Structure 1
Amino acid sequence: MCRLVGYVGPSIPLERIVTRPRHSLLQQSQHADEAKLAVNGDGFGMAWYVPETPEPGLYRDVQPAWSDANLASLCRVLRSELFLAHVRAGTTGGTSRANCHPFTHGRWSFAHNGQIGDFGHHRRALEATLPDWAYALRQGSADSELLFLMLLANGLDDDAEAAITATLAQVQDVTGPARQPTRITCLLSDGARLLGVRHASDGRTPTLYLSRGVLDHGGRALASEPLDGCPANWVAVPDDTLVTVTADGAQMSPLRHLTPASAHPLRRDTRRHISS
């Protein structure tokens, strides 16, 4: 499984999240504490937003994060108010730049930790759900990229929450009772907000934590593991939850299609606001 992190807040050098904390994403690439594999060496990447353009910058490589001599320098000089970063332990698709996260299209960026159950068996059926324009965007062979394209095809630009729930339902419909479970923890952003999603068909969802309050530089982060190594400073995002983080705060919502009231609009008072 992979490790991922996202940040929203005042503009900071990426190193404040990606490389410098005691249990940074760089540290997790070799010493993950809450994953089946401690080492995530099948590539890495970063997507970051700047005010001058709605589309994120993107840097990805197939090298392990710890062996890329450019990473520390880039993270020191690149500044952003919103960014995603990811280190990969590949489960599907070969080790190639096209299979490294984050994936981007237009204003959207996306990073995933997990797997689609029995992906090799269901890949053709899942790809067949894509309209021609979305299928034409496919560059790699990983299930994560396909999941991102399904989100786009299901209306991510118009209603992100509806696109997420529709895509999860679509995956479930195609894979059915797969021998391998579907496990999805992902981060995505449109440049204005950071979204985190946790869902698994077997209830064993890859971890995701939200910083309990603002960090020392005034922002908030979502991460696979607490970046400071102190769980008391972080809130574990529950299973089957969508968490939305902006510069103004964070809130968690149950995924609508997985709740008993799934046939009805999510009432505002079911949302859990996180104190800042």
Structure 2
Amino acid sequence: MCRWLAYRGTPVLLDSLLYRPDHSLIDQSLHSKLGVETTNGDGFGVGWYSAYSDTPALLRDVGPAWNNRNLRELADHVRSPLFFAHIRASTGAAVQQSNCHPFRHGRWMFMHNGAIAGFSRVRRDLALLVDPALYSDIEGTTDSEVMFYLALTFGLDRDPPAAVAAMAAVVERVGREHGMEFPLQMTLALTDGERLWAFRYSSAHASRSLFYSKRVEALRRLHPDVSFFRDVSEETRLIVSEPLGDLPGAWKEVPENSYGVVQPGDDELHRFVPAAA
């Protein structure tokens, strides 16, 4: 499995979240506390938005994040209001750059922790459901990328939660047709550069860990000595596979079978149920 981080809010240096926290994503690449594996060294990726383009920039590599000099250099110099970061522990797909998250299509970015059960058996059936106009854009061999392209096929541009619900329903239907009792395990994030959606769901109703940060106003009251909270706006929010530190009261677990929306104005939390398109 994997670990990931999604940030939306006041523009910050990537370093402030990738490296500086006590249990940063870089620390998690070696010492994950809540993941299936302690070490997540099968590649990494970061994707970020800037004022210069409507599409996100990506840096992905097959080596471990903890000793990548390019990532270290980038994190010290890139400031962004919305970025994804992902460290990978392969569930069987090859360790290659095209299999590293996040994935990008146009303005969309997507990353995932989890697996489609028996993917080698259901891969062909799922791939055939991808819109032919999109299929040639699939570069890698992961179940995650197929999930992304299924969501695009089912209308990600029009209604992201409905598209992800349709993708999950198809994965479960095809998986069960192939004898999989629990076909899907996912915590995933996606964004169009403006809003950020995060989903926690599994067929067994025992999903991988996922947390979100409390509102900045509350964090300032709880931890007035933490400069990061003083420097960011009220709308700043983090969603993470596991907390970046042990600050009391800073994190809440995303409920099982739910999804959240981080957006201008009030954020939202909803129940998630797979549903056919």
Secondary structure, aligned partner of 1:244? strand
CA RMSD of aligned residues (A): 1.5
- What percentage of aligned pairs have identical amino acids? 38
Q: Which residue of structure 2 lines up, in the alignment, with residue 246 of structure 1?
A: 263
Amino acid at match of 1:190: D
Q: Which residue of structure 2 lines up, in the alignment, with residue 187 of structure 1?
A: 189
Rounded to whole Å, the distance in 2 between the matches of 1:98 and 1:84 is 16
Q: Which residue of structure 2 lines up, in the alignment, with residue 178 of structure 1?
A: 180
Matched, 1:209 2:211: yes
Q: Does the 8 A contact of 1:184 with 1:198 survive in 2?
A: yes
Q: 1:231 to 1:141 in 2, by over 3 A?
A: farther
Q: Which residue of structure 2 lines up, in the alignment, with residue 156 of structure 1?
A: 156
Q: Structure 2 stretches of 5 or more lacking a match?
A: 217-227
Q: 1:256 to 1:35 in 2, by over 3 A?
A: closer
Rounded to whole Å, the distance in 1 between the matches of 2:5 and 2:151 is 20
What CA deviation, in whole Å up to 9, does each residue of 1:196-243 have, x standing for no partner? 001101112111100012261422100001112336311100111111
Once the two structures are overlaid, the 10-residue window that deviates more, 97-106 or 173-182, is 173-182
**1:50-65 paired onto structure 2 within 5 Å:** 50-65=50-65
Q: Does the 8 A contact of 1:92 with 1:141 survive in 2?
A: no
Misfit runs of 4+, over 6 Å: none
Amino acid at match of 2:261: T
Matched, 1:126 2:143: no
Q: Which residue of structure 2 lines up, in the alignment, with residue 67 of structure 1?
A: 67
Rounded to whole Å, the distance in 2 between the matches of 1:164 and 1:21 is 31
What CA deviation, in whole Å up to 9, does each residue of 1:224-271 have, x standing for no partner? 01112336311100111111112434211011447xxx9xxxxxxxxx
Rounded to whole Å, the distance in 2 between the matches of 1:201 and 1:152 is 21
**1:1-276 paired onto structure 2 within 5 Å:** 1-176=1-176, 177-178=179-180, 181-214=183-216, 216=229, 217-218=231-232, 219-230=236-247, 232-257=249-274
Q: TM-score, normalised by structure 1?
A: 0.90
Secondary structure, aligned partner of 1:239? coil
Q: Structure 1 stretches of 5 or more lacking a match?
A: 263-276
Rounded to whole Å, the distance in 2 between the matches of 1:140 and 1:53 is 25
Q: How many residues align?
A: 259
Q: Does the 8 A contact of 2:44 with 2:61 survive in 1?
A: yes
Q: 1:16 to 1:248 in 2, by over 3 A?
A: farther
Q: TM-score, normalised by structure 2?
A: 0.90
Q: Does the 8 A contact of 2:168 with 2:184 survive in 1?
A: no
Rounded to whole Å, the distance in 2 between the matches of 1:247 and 1:131 is 31
Post-superposition offset of 1:10: 0.6
